[in-house]
Amino acid sequence: MNQQLSLITQERIAQKIFIIRDKRIMLDKDLAELYDVKPIRLREQVKRNIKRFPPDFMFQLNEEEVHMMVSQNAIPSIQRLGGHLPYAFTEHGILMLSSVLNNDKAIEVNIQIMRTFTKLRELMLVHKDLRIKIEELEKKCNAQFKIVFDALRKLIDPPQKPKTPIGFVLPPKESN
């Protein structure tokens, strides 16, 4: 597999990774498409080997989660799901799929999916480091800019001095 094809495949896979219940998941229909099998066949294999898929490997989406995905345009419509609530596979569940879909295509696709998950983790670490550096810089700069902003405020709005009367002031009258 050449690098160009690998990159396109990773991009295609990354577009099919969603975050549901604070987990990165892929839907059964998308996995079936990548594995080039019918979604019903994928679900059959999973059901035959259900012991391999504990809840942290695979779970079924509820109506609210499906509607949320449709409203956020993650999926175009509920009809795209084929009339059932989809199964969501975590990274570990996808790894397990390669053992129940034991064909060359599934193995090849699984390798690419695992590379994509790894790349996403690496990107998240880079972004986390970048975010931390920006926050540190912001704190540091805010202290320096506070001095500048205080000086600007004084120039724009100088403190008011008590006004001294202008003109001739008569001395107080002496009493006889």
Confidence check: pLDDT of 1 > 60: no
pLDDT band at 47 (very low <50, low <70, confident <90, very high): very high
Amino acid at position 5, single letter: L
Is residue 15 included in any domain, yes or no? yes
Percent of the chain with pLDDT over 90: 14
Q: Which of 111, 79, 104, 92 is nearest to 13 (CA)?
A: 111
Who has greater pLDDT, 138 or 6? 138
CATH number of 108's domain: 3.10.260
Is residue 132 included in any domain, yes or no? no
For residues 68-73, average pLDDT: 74
What's the pLDDT score for residue 84?
78
Q: Please state whether the predicted TM-score (pTM) of the whole model is above 0.85.
A: no
Is residue 135 included in any domain, yes or no? no
Is residue 104 included in any domain, yes or no? yes
For residues 55-67, average pLDDT: 90
How far apart (Å, rounded) are the C-alpha atoms in residues 59 and 142? 46
Mean residue pLDDT across the chain: 77
Structural domain range at position 21: 3-123
Q: Which of 58, 75, 57 is nearest to 66 (CA)?
A: 75
How many structural domains is the chain composed of?
A: 1
Q: Which 3 state secondary structure label does DSSP give 81?
A: helix
Is residue 64 included in any domain, yes or no? yes
Q: Which residues are within 8 A (CB) of 125 and not within 5 positions of it... i.e. 6 or more apart? A: none
Percent of the chain with pLDDT over 70: 65
Instruction: Say which range, 11-20, 80-89, 105-114, 167-176, has the weakest mean pLDDT.
Output: 167-176
Is residue 154 included in any domain, yes or no? no
What's the pLDDT score for residue 59?
94
How far apart (Å, rounded) are the C-alpha atoms in residues 117 and 114? 5
Confidence check: pLDDT of 168 > 90: no
Over residues 88-135, the pLDDT tens digits come to 999 999 888 888 887 777 778 888 888 888 887 787 777 777 667 766
Is residue 94 included in any domain, yes or no? yes
Is residue 176 included in any domain, yes or no? no
Q: Count CB-CB contacts under 10 A for residue 140.
A: 10
Residue recorded with tokens 């059959």: 44
What's the pLDDT score for residue 8?
46
